[in-house]
Structure 1
Amino acid sequence: MNRLSAIRGAVTAENTKESIQVQTVKLVKEIIEANNLKLEDFVTIQFTLTKDLDELNPATALRLGKSELPYDLSGVPLFCSQEAYIKGGLEKVIRILITGYFGEAKDLKYIYLDGAKVLRPDIAK
C-alpha cells in the first residue's frame, strides 16, 4: 500500500516565458519518469521560484506544456509562491514539491537539473 510522501526537485531557467515553460516541463517529466509515477497518485504540486523569475508562473507553464508530459496534470491542484530571498543564494531557480501516494520515501528519486545541481550535489542527476 502506498503512503503519502513527497518528491523534491529543482531546475534553473532564464527569465523568459519560453525558458520557464521548457524547464518546468522538463523537471516534471524527469520526476515522473524517474519515479514511474501514475496520475492517480498525485495530490498536489507546489512550486517556488526566485524573485528574478517573473515572466511566467511555473504552474501556468506546466499547464501550457501539458502535451509534452506523459499525461495531463491539469486536474492536480497546483500552487506557486516566491522563494524566500537568501543573500548569496542561487538565482533563477524553480523548485518543486510534489505530494502524492508514491510509496516509501527511501525509494523516491529527487531530481535536480542543470544549474540547480549545486543545491543537492549528493542526489543531483
Structure 2
Amino acid sequence: MSVRGIRGAITVDANDAKEIANATLEMISSVVAQNELVAADICSVMITVTNDLDETFPAQSIRQLAGWEYVPLMCALEVPVKGSLKRCIRVLLHVNTDKTQAEIQHVYLAGAKVLRPDLVNIK
C-alpha cells in the first residue's frame, strides 16, 4: 500500500457560506466516490481557498461527514496570483491506497475544469 495524493477543485458563484459548504461537500463526495475511498484510508486533507472566499471554513462542512471526525483537515489561503481563477476551493487528499498514480481520479468541477483540462475526462 502506498500514500497517494488526490487533487480536487471547484468554483462557487458567490462568497456565501452555504454555497462554499455545498460546493466543498460536492467536490469531496466526488473524490471519495470516484476513488472508492473510505474515511479511514484518508491520512489528511489540505484545503485552500482563493482570497475572495472568506465567509466560512470549508473544513467545517467536511468535518460533518460521517466517519471524518478523525481525519486531519487544514485550511489555507491560496497564493493570490494575478489573473488566477476566482472563487476557487482546492483540496489535496493524502490517502492510503493500492492504486497506482495512473489509477487515481482527480476531480475538477464547475469553473475549476480549466485548471487541469487534461484530467477532466480521464477515467
Check whether TM > 0.5.
yes
Residue 83 of structure 1 is aligned with which of 49, 60, 78? 78
Deviations 1:92-120 (A, max 9, x none): 00000000112321110000000100111
- 1:66-81 mapped onto 2 (5 Å cutoff): 66=65, 71-81=66-76
Q: Does 1:35 align with 2:35?
A: yes
Partner of 1:7: 6
Deviations, residues 27-78 of structure 1 (Å, cap 9, x unaligned): 00000000101222110011000000000111112224x2xxxx42121000
Counterpart CA distance in 1 for 2:87 and 2:3 is: 30
For 1:108, the equivalent position in structure 2 comes to 104
Letter in 1 for 2:54: D
Counterpart of 1:21 in structure 2 is: 21
Higher helix share: 1
2: CA distance, partners of 1:32 / 1:96: 12
1:67-92 alpha-carbon deviations (Å, 9 max, x no partner): xxxx4212100001000011000000
Q: Which structure 1 segments of 5+ residues have no match?
A: none
CA RMSD after TM alignment: 1.1
Which residue of the partner structure matches residue 57 of structure 1? 57
Aligned residues of 2:47 and 2:58 also touching (Cα < 8 A)? yes
Structure 1: 4+ residue segments shifted above 4 A? none
Q: CA deviation at 1:6?
A: 0.7
Report the identity percentage: 34
* Counterpart residue number, 1:95: 90
1:7: how far off?
0.2
SS where residue 85 of structure 2 aligns?
Answer: coil
